[in-house]
Amino acid sequence: MDQQRFKKSNRDKSPRGRLLIQHYIYDLQARSGGESRQLPSSRELAAQFGVSRCTVTRELEKLVRDGVLVTKQGVGTFLAPAAKTGPLKKRIIGLLFGYGVNHCYSEYNWKLIAASGTILIEHQCLVRPMSISSGEEEGFYQELCENFVDGLIWFAPPKERFPIIRRISRQIPTVVFGSSVPEECNSLTVDYTEESYQEGKELLREGRSSFWGIMNNDPGAELYLRGYRKALEEAGKRLDPDMIFYATSALPDRLRQALQAGKHPDAFLIHSPDLREETIRLLQEFQIDFQQQCRLLCSSEAVKIPGFAGWCHEQPYQEIGEAAIELLLRLFAGDSRIEHRTLVTKHFSVNLK
């Protein structure tokens, strides 16, 4: 039987169950030669793929509405003839990060890939994480065009890539996500400055003004600091630049030296993900109390670190993916309006008494 080409699963887990049915129908249609062919019953498909009959029924009903399948009362469900439906078209969406030449992705990038990719697949798209080998602009543009993608989502591009984004967006529906985006393209952003400004005011209400940070040296770090700096200045205080430590692979000696000198922060932002655990361990070594003495500010991954207590923020990965796909689908439908959307991160406290 045709369905024997697919491995059986004992789990009915969304969206996996739906994707198994979709891919089975797509594979069956591709090999049918354009002829109508009867499908196994919903009970047989459910048993074969290890999903519930409800999952099978919902997906088949959707494909009937889309004209991919037809039902005959009292007989069963069939592939619609190719002359009526044409081939089942899946758009290919490319995902690019930064300069577009990534071969290794960070924790942050992988989460964006996972969230966006899952939602794209649910919308009947194929996903292609991309890495362009050409360094110069014209070669980069040509190689990008030769990937034959139907749409593009570009995450966190530097301003040096904006000319290419403007060119490619005239050829391929494109959505950009980042702290800085070209005005001529549909885009998504998170206002980190406003969010850190509000967080800074909350720290001041708690009586905290000795602000330290371990930061990546990137534009996102400066946006965070800009908000905290604004909140402190409005309160007649200042952000001490000597207590902002920039590092990516190892904790700077200056941080340990400051702690050894008896200086203690009452708020500490950990913006460098690779040094998250090492920073917390160092503060614990100097018996910094995270309940009262020092408010830790960190990404949500810090909840896995023993002894962590503080304020967490989490990127709206799901919302970024959903909004990007919504903008792409609008472009596919021929709507050429330019839209810029601002999203917000999620904030919550962990282990605070």
**What's the rounded Cα separation, in Å, for the pair 257 and 222?**
24
User: Rounded to whole angstroms, how far apart are CA atoms 204 and 196?
Assistant: 12
Q: Is omega for the bond preceding 182 within 30 degrees of 0, making it cis? A: no
b/e per residue 301-331 (b: at least 16 CB within 10 A):
bbeeeeebbbbbbebbbebbbbbbbbbbebb
- Please report the beta strands in the chain, taking only residues with DSSP state E, as ranges in sequence order: 69-72, 76-79, 91-97, 125-129, 151-155, 174-177, 186-190, 211-215, 244-246, 267-270, 295-299, 310-314, 340-343, 346-350
pLDDT score, position 280: 93
Q: Which residues make Cβ contacts (< 8 Å) with residue 73, sequence separation at least 6?
A: none
pTM for the complete prediction?
0.68
> How is residue 141 written in tokens?
């543009």
Which residue in 36, 335, 340, 295 sits closest to 191, CA to CA? Answer: 340
- Quick one: DSSP state of residue 2? G
Q: Over its length of 353 residues, how does the chain's per-residue pLDDT go in tens digits?
A: 333 333 333 434 444 566 567 667 766 766 666 678 888 998 988 888 778 888 888 888 888 887 788 888 888 898 887 645 455 557 789 999 988 886 677 777 788 888 888 888 887 788 888 888 877 888 888 888 877 788 999 998 989 999 999 999 998 899 999 888 999 999 999 888 999 999 999 999 999 999 999 998 877 788 889 999 999 999 999 999 999 998 877 888 999 999 999 999 999 999 888 889 999 999 999 999 999 999 999 988 888 899 999 999 888 888 998 899 889 888 887 788 899 999 988 889 999 88
Beta bridge partners of 314: 346
Angle between helices 53-65 and 42-49 (to 10 degrees): 120
71 token code pair: 């039902």
**Closest of 158, 226, 239, 233 to residue 195, by C-alpha:** 226
Token pair in block for residue 102: 């990534």
pLDDT of residue 84: 52
**Integer Cα distance of 193 and 170 in angstroms:** 31
Q: Is the dihedral of CA 108, 23, 70, 43 positive or negative?
A: negative
Joined tokens for residue 168:
């490619």
pLDDT reported for residue 300: 86
Report the alpha-carbon distance of residue 85 to residue 64 in Å, rounded. 11
